[in-house]
């Protein structure tokens, strides 16, 4: 914590240096490289520690530490990124570029969207790996409830059920992958896994960070899952029936909307379906296997959303 406070004080000092000379610019760049090395280490370590823990209370403590670390890292990195954008800072090392990107990767959706042009520019300049850029773009879309261009992002319900979040149809995803120089056959979604086969070696990644942000073979989930593929004119519904004392059953429940049968929930209570965007669905009728019926009023879609996820 002391090092982070010192870092913040240094950055405040640098902010007052509005017209540094060439020699002065080189010194801050070297100093910032050292600071960003610590930022990257902390960003990856807290995630590594969380993933390695199997104790619920310990994981909860790591989550709180995770949030604090991300908040502190953003307060350090965002002024640096702004200086790069405004042309006041250059000459950072590859490790520093990676630190800036990883902090943006783990920021909130508004921050990610704000710095998307920066991330795109520096991806094109070779500072960001193509599969990392892929994940960054998918996260922005997923956070906005929009269909993912590539399909890397998944979600987990409180009952442990995993799904991939809605994505574009495969033909469109494959075309977009090619724009990143990625062969579509190297990216697969099967057996509950999003797998990316890369020529990036473990050695090249470890040279940048003590903890890899993504392994060469990237797995986002560990069980069989499904997903929706949405065309531009389609809207998705991801529904999870919640158990209650009066209605303990969640599986094998028929769901109707606008008097049309939309499907039956699986054993975990999940149903996903899609409709034309022109169809206005405001409520659902649910029918359990023992004949009990009830209705659920859906939260309204925002104009920008392609899908909703809702407990019913």
Element (H, E) at 188: strand 187-190
Q: Average pLDDT for consecutive 10-residue bins of the chain (312 residues)? A: 50 46 55 92 93 90 94 95 91 88 92 95 88 92 94 87 92 94 80 56 36 36 68 96 86 96 95 95 95 93 89 90
Could you tell me the pTM of the whole model?
A: 0.77
Residues written for the chain: 312
pLDDT at 4: 53
Characterize 101-133 residue by residue with b for buried, 16 or more Cβ atoms within 10 angstroms of its Cβ, and e for exposed: bbbbbbbeeeebeebeebbeebbeeebbbbbbb
Note the Cα 1 to chain centre separation in Å: 27
Residue ranges covered by each domain of the chain: 1-128, 146-229, 234-311
CATH architecture of the domain covering 234-311:
Sandwich (2.60)
């Amino acid at each position: 914590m002391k090092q982070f406070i010192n870092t913040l004080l240094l950055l405040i000092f640098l902010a007052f240096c509005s017209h540094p000379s060439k020699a002065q610019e080189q010194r801050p760049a070297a100093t910032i490289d050292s600071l960003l090395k610590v930022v990257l280490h902390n960003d990856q370590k807290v995630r590594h520690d969380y993933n390695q823990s199997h104790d619920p209370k310990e994981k909860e403590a790591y989550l709180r530490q995770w949030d604090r670390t991300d908040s502190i890292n953003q307060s350090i990195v965002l002024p640096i990124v702004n200086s790069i954008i405004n042309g006041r800072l250059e000459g950072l090392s590859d490790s520093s570029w990676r630190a800036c990107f990883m902090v943006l990767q783990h920021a909130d959706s508004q921050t990610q969207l704000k710095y998307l042009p920066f991330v795109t520019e520096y991806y094109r300049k070779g500072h960001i790996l193509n599969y990392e850029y892929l994940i960054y773009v998918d996260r922005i879309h997923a956070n906005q409830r929009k269909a993912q261009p590539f399909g890397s992002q998944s979600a987990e319900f409180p009952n442990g059920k995993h799904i991939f979040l809605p994505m574009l149809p495969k033909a469109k995803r494959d075309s977009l992958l090619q724009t990143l120089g990625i062969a579509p056959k190297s990216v697969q979604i099967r057996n509950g896994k999003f797998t990316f086969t890369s020529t990036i070696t473990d050695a090249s990644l470890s040279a940048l960070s003590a903890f890899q942000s993504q392994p060469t073979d990237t797995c986002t989930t560990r069980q069989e899952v499904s997903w929706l593929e949405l065309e531009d004119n389609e809207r998705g519904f991801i529904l999870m029936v919640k158990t209650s004392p009066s209605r303990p059953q969640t599986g094998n429940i028929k769901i109707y909307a606008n008097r049309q049968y939309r499907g039956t929930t699986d054993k975990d209570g999940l149903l996903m379906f899609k409709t034309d965007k022109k169809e206005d669905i405001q409520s659902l009728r649910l029918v359990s296997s023992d004949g009990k019926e009830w209705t659920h009023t859906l939260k309204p879609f925002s104009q920008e959303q392609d899908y909703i996820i809702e407990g019913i």
